[in-house]
Structure 1
Amino acid sequence: METVKTNANMDTAAELHRALNKQVADWSVLYTKLHNYHWYVKGTHFFTLHAKFEELYDAATLRMDEVAERLLTIGGAPAATLREYLELTSVSEARGGETAEEMVDTLVRDFRAEAAELQEAIEMAGAIEDKVTEDMLIGMKSAIEKDAWMLEAYMGR
């Protein structure tokens, strides 16, 4: 019976490593998307969104680094090339030519999708009693849910 539990834990740990790697890729692509939006936002929301997008891409960098370092700490190997990021991510790149409102709408959808993916990883970490990873991911989920809410509130929704 103990062997089955160990094998199940090993399988869940491998799944967690994959989920964390996906987060590394997602935050790397989001960093680039946010930088694009920072450079190309136009219109009446320029000053506010230009600064907000910079704040968000700085946060994306920190999240990507935190997840990658945690992955290394628990024996994983984080993705570290653009090719790997694009193969692993579910985040679409910026289309180009988006309005400020379309940029915000896209980010809200991206952040909501990230929150759902983080919940799955939180459950994986919990299943193998990796409280440190679980706590890190809960904090991240809380922060991006707040970011999504604030962007929606900014647009009057």
Structure 2
Amino acid sequence: MSNVKTKEILNQAVADLSQFAVVIHQAHWYMRGQNFLTLHPKMDEYMDGINDQLDVIAERLITIGGSPYSTLTEFAEHTKIKDTPGTYDKTMKEHLEVLISGYQYLRQLSAEAITITEEEGDHVTQDIFIGMKGETEKTLWMLFAELGQAPNLG
């Protein structure tokens, strides 16, 4: 069983989840306005969820003989999730839209990983990404609902 692409997508997820945790943390620190008391602690839940996924993915990569990125430089060089300097000028809606964008990217990454792991016959890793995709879609549904929108994930 060749698992070169599986290792690559796992490491892509390591970089992206590491970056996205920082993006969520920024929203946590810089949000102000309506629903702050609800959304501020919600960011802690989102960070915990992302960090839990990161740990599972990095450990799976190690288990199958890979080496996860483990420096800020590596995360920054390899992530596809963009960041911008923090500002208090963003509305709560804008913060949530940034999160939606990140979760949508992670949903797409999970779908790509599901295909790759099927091709390479790694169903254990595939199961991890199926779970990640499900959790990501649930979070997207909730974020869209907070904005009064349907998730349109079909």
- Give structure 2 stretches of 5+ with no counterpart: 150-154
- Which one has a larger percent helix, Structure 1 or Structure 2? 1
TM-score with structure 1 setting the length: 0.90
Could you tell me which amino acid in structure 1 is paired with residue 4 of structure 2? Answer: A
User: What does residue 6 of structure 1 align with?
Assistant: none
Deviations 1:43-99 (A, max 9, x none): 012111101111000111111111000000011110000000011111112442222
8 Å Cα contact 2:6/2:120 also seen in 1: no
Distance 1:118 1:19 in 2: 9
Q: Which has the larger radius of gyration?
A: 1
Identity of aligned residues (%): 37
User: What does residue 152 of structure 2 align with?
Assistant: none
Q: Which runs of 4+ in 1 moved over 2 A?
A: none
> Paired residues, what number?
147
Indicate whether 1:63 and 2:53 are aligned. Answer: yes
Q: How far off is 1:132 after superposition?
A: 0.7
8 Å Cα contact 1:30/1:91 also seen in 2: yes
Distance 1:88 1:67 in 2: 16
Distance 2:31 2:84 in 1: 12
Indicate whether 1:26 and 2:7 are aligned. Answer: no
8 Å Cα contact 1:104/1:151 also seen in 2: yes
**CA-based RMSD:** 1.1
Indicate whether 1:39 and 2:57 are aligned. Answer: no
User: What does residue 128 of structure 1 align with?
Assistant: 120
User: What does residue 3 of structure 1 align with?
Assistant: none
- Give structure 1 stretches of 5+ with no counterpart: 1-8
